Amino acid sequence: MKIFPAVLVVNKPVDDPAELDTLCTLFETFEHALQIGWMDPYDAPEETKKWFGFNWKTAEKKTEVSLFVGKKGHKTYEGRLSDADAITNFVVESLTAVGR
């Protein structure tokens, strides 16, 4: 089993069926090797801003998605979480850029 050197993090629990389908698609696309989770920005505002770029002040209004790649920092996904093709391309492009 391979593990990608990254974790995809969302700033709130995901309960929308289309978004959950997207996360399942990502998990399967990356052969169960991409870690996916969520972190509430209210729990640790400074750390979530530093590690994932999340803003606790806008967390209730906006779903934020970040790909954290260790020492390389994070990249923020600007699209809709329900858009499986776009987020898959974002992850592939981000991991490819990190590998260079």
Q: Give me the residue label for tokens 């069926």.
A: 17
Split the chain (100 residues) into runs of 10 and give each run's mean pLDDT: 80 93 92 88 91 86 88 89 94 81
Which pLDDT score, from 0 to 100, does residue 59 have? Answer: 80
Enter the pTM of the model: 0.84
Residue 91's Cβ-count burial label (10 Å; 0-12, 13-18, 19+) is buried
Structure-token match 């992850």, residue found = 91
Residue ranges of domains in the chain, CATH in brackets: 7-99 (3.40.30.10)
Cα four-point dihedral sign 88, 84, 77, 9: negative
